[in-house]
Structure 1
Amino acid sequence: MMQKAITQISRILVGALFIFSGFVKLVDPIGSQYKFQEYFSEAVLNLEILIPYALLFAIVLIVAEILLGVMILIGYKSKFTVWSLLLLSLVFLFLTWYSAYYNKVTDCGCFGDAIKLTPWETFYKNVILIGFILILLIKIKLIKPLFKGNAPKVITFLSLAGFLFIVQHVLTHLPLIDFRAYAIGKNLQEGMIYPKDGSIAPVHDFMLEDEQRDLAPILLEKEKVMLVIMYNLSKTDAAGFPEIKKVSEKAIKKGYTVYGVSASFSDDLLVAKEKYNLPFEFLFCDETTLKTMIRANPGVVILNKGTVTQKKNWIDVKELKL
């Protein structure tokens, strides 16, 4: 009786953790893409050949993670599920150990941007998790389906379809839930205040520089500011320029201060400005900061005295309320 109780508790804990961990990344797979790019970089695993496939890796692992969590809870294909959970956890264990031991990646991203853990905290979390999975492996015969007949199979495939739909939606638009310091409703000036515990401020490296100075302090005091984010011009979706041009012209007519913001070279930006007849000047900002601000390239961020009031991928800029 005790063994059965321990097995079921382990089953619930493992399933819930995998579902939560997968969900907070599912709503923002581009964040996981950036994390894989960091892992694959020369400075970490030196697997730069895999960087172009970082998004694919992210989607496969995220969907696998959350789907396995569902499968263990409903008891579908328990042997396959438990072994898959163990394999996936061992991969995560290695990555977190590598990050912690060599101090290569300070945030593994195991809970996306929802919960921040140090590499060693994440490593020990994975050790404990593997302990629960080993319990399930030893007592695998006690893992029975919650539903009879084909119900577990149907639930699994419906879940998979739902997860893939969410991935497609957030990649086309923006994350369903924004856990970052630049989310709608967040005030960037307040985010720049350093916590009393000495940790880094939620909003850092945020500068909007022209050739002479940082305009961020000025722009964060204005009521109507539109920032057109193009973190890397060479990776910007060219199909978005016509829509960006239309919405920026509309914003200017309504009294908005409009700037493009990029980490690309100024010469390339001047070429793009002339080629697409863009009605605004460009400012420079750190690429990582821009990727954190909005998961779109190009994307639009609306500020009112430093508070983020709207964010849209270029596909949805017609929905902006100006």
Structure 2
Amino acid sequence: MTATQQRTKTNYLLGFCRIFTGLLFIFSGFIKANDPTGFGYKLQEYFEVFHLTAFNEYATAIAVVICGFEILLGALLLLGVYANTVAWGLLLLILFFTFLTFYSAFFEVVTSCGCFGDAIPLTPWQSFSKDLVLLALILIIFFNRKQLRSIIKGSGNQFVATVITAIISLGIGIYTVNYLPFIDFLPYKVGNNLPSLMVLPEGKQGDLFEQIYTMKNKKTGETKKVNDKVYMADKLWEDESWEIIGEPESKLVKKGYDIPIPDLLITDADGADHTQEIIANPYYNLVIVAKDLSSTNIDAIQKINQAAIQLTKDYNGLRVVLLTASASKDAQYLSDKMQLIAEIFYADLIPLKSMVRANPGVLLLKGGNVVGKWHYNNFPDAKTIEDKFLSKDK
């Protein structure tokens, strides 16, 4: 192979790595920037693992910056702007991500890396494999970074392009934090029927587990592990020389269908279950989700409450409830202080985080269907809700 042919081959390889890596970084950044609040929750899991809980308060802000940085690096790589700096940035970022995904996979501390948000869930080992491929591509870019040429001429134009790209990259995340994701990949999105997502569909099978027993021979002291099938088939309980020690272990044999909403339980202050009563109500339910009352936006609660009062006057069939993971005494105190019209119910923090990426946020349900969903920043007035939804049933 001649030197010219070798250079041509290298240029083609570098071009492929540049385009593929750039587009993948932009895609990954956009997916996470679509829901930086959710990515922030994932970062909090990593903070817990590495004992960095002091950063939990800033998780969403950090998420916005990371998403923006990914988009920026991907865009600048495609443009060829500041090639040396971008190559270093890509290398450092992928080394960091590779370490995190390997640590998560090897020690089984975080079950999903969040690389592509909730749009494309990946296991830690899948994420680690993806990062190894990216690392190989980025190493090619890094060692050939001097050959990268900018498609934008002039240092001034390059600077302007970088600033504009950075503003757009950060702006996407800032917008979605304050006005909900552009695309909702979670089970509580508008159009979904919640009761149907809480049960195993017909024809689907859930996870298949087996029980593992640790058996000890009373005479010899020998121990062995047997599964429940062997235990039953060999009738080991009839053999008095063997006994079960410790608690049985549950082992996943076959992965089955994951129920989209497996963990939603709505209770009152006394612990009585009201889940189906609220979720499957055939009439309209205005559900205010204030997952944590200590950090919720009080002014927004007041605004929503005023709209709810007006709506219940104009539409008798509307039920207003507030869901929170806070203590009942805190919820009751807030209700009394603000004279809330909503009935107070309680749910675990995890499903409330998935329900709406706002504190507070609002869902409008009818017959178990999500017909409306809002961040408190874009919650409409009572007349808009009545005209768009309630008036149709009068």
> Does TM-score exceed 0.5, indicating one fold?
yes
- 1:240 — aligned with what? 300
Partner residue of 2:319 out of 237, 253, 257: 257
Counterpart mapping for 1:158-307 below 5 A? 158-194=164-200, 196=205, 198-210=256-268, 211-221=270-280, 222-253=282-313, 254=315, 255-307=317-369
Partner residue of 1:14 out of 15, 21, 24: 21
1:40 aligns with 2:47: yes
CA distance in 2: counterparts of 1:90 and 1:135, whole angstroms: 14
Partner residue of 1:308 out of 354, 362, 370: 370
Shift of 1:99: 0.9
CA distance in 1: counterparts of 2:174 and 2:297, whole angstroms: 17
- 1:29 — aligned with what? 36
The SS at the match of 1:261 is strand
1:321 aligns with 2:326: no
Instruction: Work out whether residues 18 and 68 of structure 1, in 8 Å CA contact, stay in contact via their aligned partners in 2.
Output: yes
Shift of 1:280: 1.6
Shift of 1:84: 0.3
**Pairwise CA RMSD:** 1.6
Deviations for 1:81-124, whole angstroms, at most 9, x for unmatched residues? 01100101111111111111111110111111110000000011
List gaps (5 residues or longer) in structure 1. Answer: none
The SS at the match of 1:302 is strand
Instruction: Work out whether residues 75 and 152 of structure 1, in 8 Å CA contact, stay in contact via their aligned partners in 2.
Output: no
Shift of 1:212: 4.8
Shift of 1:228: 0.5
CA distance in 2: counterparts of 1:256 and 1:112, whole angstroms: 34
CA distance in 1: counterparts of 2:90 and 2:38, whole angstroms: 22
The SS at the match of 2:385 is coil
The residue type paired with residue 17 of structure 1 is L
Aligned-pair identity (%): 36
Greater Cα offset, 52-61 or 179-188: 52-61
Shift of 1:234: 0.8
List gaps (5 residues or longer) in structure 2. Answer: 1-7, 206-254, 387-394
Instruction: Work out whether residues 251 and 258 of structure 1, in 8 Å CA contact, stay in contact via their aligned partners in 2.
Output: no
- 1:109 — aligned with what? 114
The SS at the match of 2:276 is helix
Go from structure 1 to structure 2 and tell me whether the alpha carbon gap of 1:181 and 1:79 turns closer, same or farther (over 3 Å shift): same
CA distance in 1: counterparts of 2:67 and 2:170, whole angstroms: 10
Greater length-normalized contact order (CA 8 Å, ≥ 6 residues apart)? 1
1:157 aligns with 2:163: yes
Greater Cα offset, 175-184 or 266-275: 175-184
Instruction: Work out whether residues 65 and 170 of structure 2, in 8 Å CA contact, stay in contact via their aligned partners in 1.
Output: no
CA distance in 2: counterparts of 1:193 and 1:311, whole angstroms: 23
CA distance in 2: counterparts of 1:76 and 1:280, whole angstroms: 54
The structure whose Rg is larger is 2
- 2:152 — aligned with what? 147
The residue type paired with residue 144 of structure 2 is K
CA distance in 2: counterparts of 1:112 and 1:250, whole angstroms: 38
Partner residue of 2:129 out of 92, 116, 124: 124
Instruction: Work out whether residues 69 and 169 of structure 2, in 8 Å CA contact, stay in contact via their aligned partners in 1.
Output: no
| Runs of 4+ with >4 A deviation | none
Instruction: Work out whether residues 18 and 69 of structure 1, in 8 Å CA contact, stay in contact via their aligned partners in 2.
Output: yes
CA distance in 2: counterparts of 1:36 and 1:291, whole angstroms: 14
Aligned residues: 320
Greater Cα offset, 144-153 or 83-92: 144-153
Instruction: Work out whether residues 67 and 170 of structure 2, in 8 Å CA contact, stay in contact via their aligned partners in 1.
Output: no
Greater Cα offset, 122-131 or 174-183: 174-183
Shift of 1:174: 1.4
CA distance in 1: counterparts of 2:283 and 2:77, whole angstroms: 50
Shift of 1:163: 2.3
- 1:3 — aligned with what? 10
CA distance in 2: counterparts of 1:27 and 1:282, whole angstroms: 31
Q: Give the structure-1-normalised TM-score.
A: 0.95
The SS at the match of 2:134 is helix
Instruction: Work out whether residues 224 and 257 of structure 1, in 8 Å CA contact, stay in contact via their aligned partners in 2.
Output: yes
